[in-house]
Amino acid sequence: MNQSKLLTEFYHLDEYVTLAGYKKNGGYEVLKKALKMEPKAIVDEVKASGLRGRGGAGFPTGMKWSFLPENGEPRYLLCNADEGEPGTFKDRVMMERAPHQLIEGMIISAFAIKSKKSYIYVRGEYDDSKRIIEKALKEAYEAGLLGKNILGSGFDHDMDLYSGAGAYICGEETGMISSIEGLKGQPKLKPPFPAVKGYLRKPTIVNNVETLAAVVPIIRDGAQAYRKFGTEKSAGTKLFSISGNVMKPGVIEIPLATPLRDVIFEYCGGLKPGRKLKAVIPGGSSAPVLNADEAMKVNMDYESLAQAGSMLGSGAIIVMDDSNCMVDMLQVIMHFYHHESCGQCTPCREGTGWLDKIVTSIHQGHGRLQDIQLIERVAKNMMGRTICALSDAAALPALSFVSKFRDEFEFYVREGRSKVKGVAHAEMHH
């Protein structure tokens, strides 16, 4: 047994998807333990574990829970399973391999924050995940693990699945709340934060799939056992989604602070034969890109990546070798953010449109040298000026790509073709 597999230890067992298979491997035992604890003791344990939000923001989970006001209003727990960022697919694996682990983590978390109602908000495109979660919820209700008086504890809790409609923006917590309320999926101004006024203007906690599942091993083994992994500020293990030019892409669970070099060359079997590492996006498409030298020095934790000028985000590692054209890559990313902007804030609505337009123009062989500076100007004007972070999520990769791989962009402008691929885009498309 790999000692660092706190969540994925049994993911290889097909039976783990079912209630019987989950129980056979210790499932719902932690719930029995949690229901005998004081809710505050669970919150304190999660605080002490150093668990940080695994959806991207990295905010301390226990601290978030303690922001709920004591005002006697009903409270809601929302699981953010709207996994829409390019490169990220670990929540899908979790829902499809271990749905009960998420449900158990959610019941414990709901008990800790005294919530009687929760929702799992699943990305619109995840049909398999929705089917599997629905089945697991039905099993849990039939076994008396959800509904009235759970396991005779006197605690009542209902859980429902809610399907998104394919908008990336609904992964932002207030955008998701708008969507569940039946409104247009647009982010809201903060403050007030969801913990004070969230779903139906009531106190609401929004956590990611992985965050809620991680509550199970924390309550099972205690905060200190969880802290054995990772660092002081980045504690525990984390699931990483790895894609791109590696021999073995997929999802791995490793302690935080594992060197990125080890992730690529040990866990993922290195690059394809004869290829050299060129760049890595370490935390999903919104994270600034690292060049090969930076990638070889960085560890996969919040602090180390922030120091390197990037971020851990959702833990989506996109590996690029020397066959990748950076203009191609940026064009794909910019097109995505332009398509997914909800259009509410002018800097984002216009800025993502312009970035998409300028990069596409370079990509099609119509670029001018001043366009490279224009990308930087537009991106800088987008940052920090909008309700949610989508604008920054488009600006950060744009700035990092053109600053670190400027020679490629300049070559593409001058020659009308990729420095890497050698074929003019204009020729390919005529």
Q: Give pLDDT tens digits for 1-21.
A: 356 899 999 999 999 999 999
- Token pair belonging to 137: 């919820």
Q: How far apart are CA 295 and CA 397, in angstroms?
A: 15
Q: How far apart are CA 403 and CA 150, in angstroms?
A: 56
3-state DSSP assignment of residue 3: coil
115-170 confidence digits (pLDDT tens): 999 999 999 999 999 999 999 999 999 999 999 999 999 999 999 999 999 999 99
List residues bridging with 320 in a β-sheet: 279
Q: For the chain, which domains are there?
A: 14-226 (3.40.50.11540), 237-321 (3.10.20.600), 326-428 (1.20.1440.230)
82-118 confidence digits (pLDDT tens): 999 999 999 999 999 999 999 999 999 999 999 999 9
pLDDT at 422: 58
3-state DSSP assignment of residue 30: helix
Between the alpha carbon of residue 8 and those of residues 127, 254, 364, 407, the distances in Å are 22, 10, 44, 42
Task: Give me the sign of the Cα torsion angle 103, 107, 112, 117.
Answer: positive
pLDDT average, residue stretch 238-263:
97
- Token pair belonging to 230: 């990772």
pLDDT tier for residue 427 given thresholds of 50, 70 and 90: very low
Q: Is 285 exposed, middle or buried (0-12, 13-18, 19+ CB in 10 A)?
A: buried
pLDDT at 429: 45
